Amino acid sequence: MSARAKAMRAQGIDVISMSLGEPDMDTPEHIRKAAKDAIDNHWSHYGPVPGIPSLREAIAAWHNSQFPILNSQFSIDDVIVSVGAKMAIYNAIQTLINPGDEVIIPMPSWVSYTEMVKLAEGKVVSVHTTFEDNYCITPEQLRAALTPRTRMIILCSPNNPTGSVYSNSQLEQLFRILQDWPDVFILFDQIYNQLIYTPNDPINDQMVNNQMVSRLIIVNGVSKSYAMTGYRVGWLISKNKEFIAACTRLQSQQLTCATMVAQKAAEAALTGPQDCVDEMRRIFAQRRELICRLAAEIPGFRFREPQGAFYLFPDISNVQIPNSQFSIPNSQFTKDNSQFSILNSQFSSKGDFLAELLLEKAHVAVVSGSAFGEPNCIRLSYAISTGEITEALSRIKEVIIH
């Protein structure tokens, strides 16, 4: 959808893109300066496979201050720096998952988790969460999904695409169940963790005991919270020395090391002033209030207020598709994979159809929920200006009403 929006813009069409998952702010000045200084200071050669020591120390210290777990603090030896959080997740899956191993993924989820498991020849166990549970996996669902073949569960909080955040009580219940499954690793994707509007208390001793901490892999990075998506610096952190060693061996064959200049910039992000993050969170909170207020005026939209990240994920099951050359009876939209043709295009869900309709008629690019495993939803990124949000929601409302 992002590529199509750009192509339409190149043709002179005024398209508002709500499809991308990246902040629209500039990288803070002190971080940019650190990157320039790194170039001038000749940080242009190969570095250590797991990352430069000063950055790994900064990451460990940052996690210890933000998310203290047990009395055993994270150290430099627990950190691997990679080319973005995406590569860190991929490496963790490739290191742990053998053919036939099962990976539990609560749906809706970020699009790449499933594909990464497939690349490792693992089996995806999709657990479809509900609107009523704020799209969080429940203890009952987790128990039902666990089998002797389960090797990993992937949790993302705040969640992409829903903006949902697991409360500490929810995590405690899930971890209590997983204590009885010693072969199951927990991959905890926290890439949006600094963009939570009402922060939780940190994960603590009561939630993760000594046996559990060796199976916990935390993934994070600088892309979202510091507007550094193009720098491509992320990391994973784990107290499991065997896993860290294996993952380092894998990375040594894949990419040698993350870009040195970008690593120095990431170090400046973590060790420098954090008011830039506070300001970004404040801006996104304002945009969240605006988009929720405007979306509430659109007939058929049903949604939860995002608790984190910068996405709105409305359920559009009750949206009445307008009578036009694009429309078909609403009764033909089902949750199965039945196909129907509209203007020589194939759509398997109402989300696919509405995303197409909004691009063609409203010139607003959104992402169908089918990409995330929830076909009767759409994802709207509010990482755009308030003026664009207001205009985009006005256009969407106009198309749906008329």
Instruction: Extract long-range pairs of 135-139: CB within 8 Å, 24+ residues apart.
Output: 135/106, 135/108, 135/159, 135/162, 135/164, 135/304, 135/313, 135/374, 136/106, 136/164, 136/166, 136/170, 137/104, 137/106, 137/174, 139/173, 139/174, 139/177
Residue 273, Cα to own-chain centre: how many angstroms?
25
pLDDT above 70 for 333: no
Q: How is 187-213 classified by DSSP, letter by letter?
A: EEE-TTTT-BSSPPPPP-TTTS-HHHH
Query: What mean pLDDT comes out for the span 176-199?
Result: 94
Closest to 219 in 3D by CA, of 194, 238, 240, 200: 238
Share of the chain above pLDDT 70, in %: 89
Per-residue DSSP letter, 17? E
Q: From CA 295, how far away is CA 380, in angstroms rounded?
A: 10
Over residues 350-373, the mean pLDDT reads: 94
Question: Which segment of 255-264, 288-297, 332-341, 343-352 scores lowest on mean pLDDT?
Answer: 332-341
Show me where the domains of the chain are located.
2-21+276-401, 43-271
Inform me whether the pLDDT recorded for 324 exceeds 60.
no
Mean pLDDT in residue range 382-393:
98
Options 3.40.640.10, 3.40.50.720, 3.40.50.10490, 2.20.25.10; CATH of 43-271: 3.40.640.10
Per the model's pLDDT, the better-predicted residue between 202 and 83 turns out to be 83
pLDDT of residue 336: 39
pLDDT value of position 354: 93
- What residues contact residue 63 under an 8 Å CB cut-off, 6+ apart? 74, 218, 220, 237
Three-state DSSP class for 140?
A: helix
**Residue tagged 């053998």 (tokens):** 98
Q: How confident is the model at residue 286 (pLDDT cuts 50, 70, 90)?
A: very high
Mean pLDDT of 334-351: 51
Please list the residues that pair with 219 across neighbouring strands.
189, 236
Q: pLDDT tens digits, residue range 363-375?
A: 999 999 999 999 9
| pLDDT tens digits for range 289-309 | 999 999 999 999 999 999 999
pLDDT digit string, tens, across residues 84-115: 999 999 999 999 999 999 999 999 999 999 99
pLDDT of residue 388: 97
What is residue 259's DSSP assignment? -
Rounded mean pLDDT, 331-358: 60
Q: What is the DSSP letter of 39?
A: H
Looking at the predicted structure, is the pLDDT value of residue 340 above 50? no
* Average pLDDT of span 120-130: 98
Asked, as a colleague might, if the bond just before 106 is cis with ω within 30 of 0, I would say: no
Residue 65 exposure: Cα atoms within 13 Å on the Cβ side: 9
398 pLDDT above the threshold of 80: yes
Distance CA 381, CA 363 (A): 15
By the 8 A CB rule, do 191 and 224 touch?
A: yes
137-186 per-position pLDDT tens digit = 999 999 999 999 999 999 999 999 999 999 988 999 999 999 999 999 99
In this structure, of 1-5, 163-167, 335-339, 364-368, the range with the lowest mean pLDDT score is 335-339
- Assess whether pLDDT exceeds 90 at residue 362: yes
Query: Is 332's pLDDT higher than 60?
Result: no
Strands (E) in 54-165, as ranges, are 79-82, 102-107, 123-128, 150-156
* Predicted pLDDT of residue 330: 42
- Residue-wise DSSP of 363-375: -EE-EEGGGGT-T
Question: What is the rounded CA–CA span in Å between residue 41 and residue 34?
Answer: 10
Mean pLDDT of 17-21: 92
Query: Which of these ranges, 9-23, 88-102, 181-195, 327-341, has the smallest mean pLDDT?
Result: 327-341
The whole-number pLDDT of residue 290 equals 98
Q: pLDDT tens across 210-242, in order?
A: 678 899 999 999 999 999 999 999 999 999 999
| Residue 9: pLDDT over 80 | yes
Percentage of the residues of the chain whose pLDDT score is greater than 90: 81
What pLDDT shows up at residue 201? 62
What is the chain's mean pLDDT, rounded?
A: 90
Residue 376 CB-density burial (10 A; 0-12 exposed, 13-18 middle, 19+ buried): buried
Sign of CA dihedral 103, 85, 116, 112: positive
- What DSSP state is assigned to residue 142? H
Nearest-5° angle of CA 101, CA 107, CA 112?
65
Q: pLDDT-based confidence at 35, cuts 50/70/90?
A: very high
Find the DSSP H helices in 149-240.
168-178, 210-213
CATH of domain 2-21+276-401: 3.90.1150.10
Q: Quick one: pLDDT band at residue 5, thresholds 50, 70, 90?
A: confident
